Amino acid sequence: MATGRASDNTVQELDFSSCGEDGSDSSSDDWETRITRSPESICRTPKISRHRSRRDATPSEFPTTPLRCAWKKLRLCDSPSTPKSLLSKSALSNSVSKPCSSQRSLHFTGASEPTRHSPAPSVNVNPFTPNTFRKASETLKRKGWRSDEDDQLGDKEDHTSSDEDDETFLPSKRPAVQASMLSRYESEFLELGRIGIGEFGAVYKCVKRLDGCLYAIKRSRRPLAGSANEQLALKEVYAHAVLGHHPHVVRYYSAWAEDDHMIIQNEYCDGGSLHDAITKKEKLGALFLEPELMDLLLQVSMGLKYIHSSGLVHLDIKPSNIFICQRLPANTGGEGESEEEEDGSLSTAVLYKIGDLGHVTSSSSPQVEEGDSRFLASEVLREDYTHLPKADIFALGLTLLLAGGAPPLPSNGEEWHRLRQAQLPVLSQKLSPAFQSLIQMLLHPEPHLRPSASALCRHPLLRRESAKKIASQLRKELNVEKFRTAMLERELKEARMAALSPQQPFHSLVQQFSAHGGSLPRTGNRVVGKNAARSMSFGCPGY
């Protein structure tokens, strides 16, 4: 998997500007030749190669597949729509392949009176976004980013995909592109940089001009019409649309077709993928330790439980398809997280989310497109689909091994088979026997003997670890509260003493308390610890 900064060339050469049928494919070809394949994406079993050739088959071999028809119908470049609305709209109209006049009238800035020849829309600042991004947005606002004169903006090629983007990204300096020339992607999003490349496509970090929030926009690498790739693309969209929202599944917002490529707008996960996190730790000579592995296992099991209970299976669970969201302190006590509270993952610093639903299929009537061969359960290779959800459990077991320090997994050969015969690699850390045997169960050669995702969510070992974490979090919070109370008691005592002293005039009392950043002690309904900022200003040992 390749991550990193979007090179100047890449950004410059992307051609999203056409939404007509007759858009040239040359940009796509350039695109494809520029892409370096991820190590994960090039590992396939011979069987998968067979599937691959099926995918790359000519249109005539798939003349009337429903998916093909659906794809054609998706070729709209209209106002923002869900796939469902796209489909229903397309059923009503035959004019879908014509350049869309409605798109020309899309105006998001509100900063100036939109005209037909207005430049690219700028980006709105969302006051409700988390601090980091808001700060960046406000800085930009101060710099006059959202001015009427978009040609004052900085160079688009200055954008990178680095973490500093959140703090310092600059908007694009567009040549005098008229809004009427913009694709939906361009008119609705400001691209900040490329964040990853996979088998299916490239993923870009973008800010949506209208709501000012970050999104991960995935664009298929190859033109889809006429190839079986459209089946994969649509699978991902269908799965997302059916799945709805879950804290451990990457959230889907929208999808549309543009210039014969599928574009999917997903939640942006600021911690990147688990694969990135493992690589980063490896470089530092570190590993995911047992409590972290348990947390990972519990959280991904929750996501899988949700997917499986919806009658679907993922079939491509692996570190590069598990995404990380760093939890902001402000979120930890928020409402609307009851599901997480129930599951016990509220106390964790990171949220793991299952993404990349391109291989999802129904467990009852499966159409299997195997994922990465390194994570493939042997029964799937044998085309035994009777316990498909357990194939996800198997892949999760291997994912845990990798995070726990196992050497790289084989994509075929003797070693591949040994792993599927309960012969696990030696890890570079010692795990407790209980956890070791749980991992062994995940990788059981007999799929029906592997625990289900639901059983894993209830597993005492994982629940205990999660309870320990909650207890430690609560202990920390209790200590902070104790410290605050102690400070308030001290202030109260000092105030009482000062009040009792006959020499001290009232105004000096006021001065004394304001010097402490405090307030006069009140009789009545003082809420202890309410003014947290004041108490914390004395400095809290250990925090």
Ligand X SMILES: Nc1ncnc2c1ncn2[C@@H]1O[C@H](COP(=O)(O)OP(=O)(O)OP(=O)(O)O)[C@@H](O)[C@H]1O
Residues annotated within a binding site for Mg(2+): 321, 356
Q: Which of 90, 266, 348, 373 binds ligand X (CB under 6 A)?
A: 266
Judged by CB under 6 A, which stretch of 77-85, 185-193, 320-328, 435-443 contacts ligand X? Answer: 320-328
369 binds Mg ion (CB under 5 A): no
Picking from 204, 208, 188, 23, the residue whose alpha carbon sits closest to that of residue 120 is: 188
Picking from 477, 478, 491, the residue whose alpha carbon sits closest to that of residue 534 is: 491
Which residue is catalytic, options 260, 276, 316, 372? 316
Site string for ligand X, 433-472 (x = CB under 6 A): ----------------------------------------
> Closest CB to ligand X belongs to which residue?
198
Q: Which of 165, 230, 260, 356 binds ligand X (CB under 6 A)?
A: 356
Shortest distance in whole angstroms from residue 60 CB to Mg ion:
30
CA–CA–CA angle 443, 444, 446 (5° rounding): 135
Judged by CB under 5 A, which stretch of 151-159, 281-289, 314-322, 398-406 contacts Mg ion? Answer: 314-322
199 binds ligand X (CB under 6 A): yes
H helix and E strand count, the chain: 21, 9
CA–CA–CA angle 174, 175, 177 (5° rounding): 90
Structure tokens at 387: 């316990």
Instruction: Please write down the long-range contacts of 430-433, taking CB distance under 8 Å and 24 or more positions apart.
Output: 431/290, 431/293, 431/404, 432/290
# residues near ligand X by CB under 6 A: 27
Residue ranges for the known binding site for ATP are 195-203, 218
Site string for Mg ion, 190-209 (x = CB under 5 A): --------x-----------
Residue 201, phi then psi, degrees to nearest 5: -170, -170
What is the rounded distance in angstroms from the CA atom of residue 110 to the CA atom of residue 105? 13
What is the rounded distance in angstroms from the CA atom of residue 198 to the CA atom of residue 37? 7
What is the rounded distance in angstroms from the CA atom of residue 538 to the CA atom of residue 463? 37
Shortest distance in whole angstroms from residue 251 CB to ligand X:
8
Q: Residues in the chain, how many?
A: 543
Structure tokens at 253: 């917002």
CB neighbours (10 Å) of residue 312? 24
- The listed partner (ligand X, Mg ion, none) that binds 267, CB under 5 to 8 Å by sort, is ligand X
Residue numbers 213-232 binding ligand X by CB under 6 A: 216, 218
Q: Which residue has the tokens 């390749």?
A: 2
273 binds ligand X (CB under 6 A): yes
Site string for ligand X, 279-318 (x = CB under 6 A): ----------------------------------------
186 binds ligand X (CB under 6 A): no
Shortest distance in whole angstroms from residue 270 CB to ligand X:
7
Nearer to ligand X, 195 or 439 (CB): 195
What is the rounded distance in angstroms from the CA atom of residue 326 to the CA atom of residue 359? 26
Q: Is the dihedral angle over the CA atoms 477, 483, 487, 489 positive or is it negative?
A: positive
Judged by CB under 6 A, which stretch of 178-186, 191-199, 287-295, 394-402 contacts ligand X? Answer: 191-199
Residues 6+ apart with CB under 8 A from 62: 68, 228
220 binds Mg ion (CB under 5 A): no
Respond yes or no: is residue 316 known to be catalytic.
yes
Q: Which of 320, 363, 399, 466 binds ligand X (CB under 6 A)?
A: 320
Judged by CB under 5 A, which stretch of 16-24, 78-86, 319-327, 390-398 contacts Mg ion? Answer: 319-327
The enclosing H or E element of 83 equals helix 83-92
Cα distances (Å, whole numbers) of residue 206 to 201, 211, 251: 15, 12, 15
358 binds ligand X (CB under 6 A): yes
Shortest distance in whole angstroms from residue 322 CB to ligand X:
9
Picking from 453, 460, 461, 469, the residue whose alpha carbon sits closest to that of residue 300 is: 453
Q: Which of 161, 220, 231, 321 binds Mg ion (CB under 5 A)?
A: 321
What is the rounded distance in angstroms from the CA atom of residue 252 to the CA atom of residue 293? 26
Interaction site with ligand X (CB under 6 A): 1, 3, 38, 40-41, 195-196, 198-201, 203, 216, 218, 250, 266-269, 272-273, 320-321, 323, 355-356, 358
Catalytically annotated residues: 316
Would you tell me which residues interact with Mg ion (CB under 5 A)?
198, 321, 356
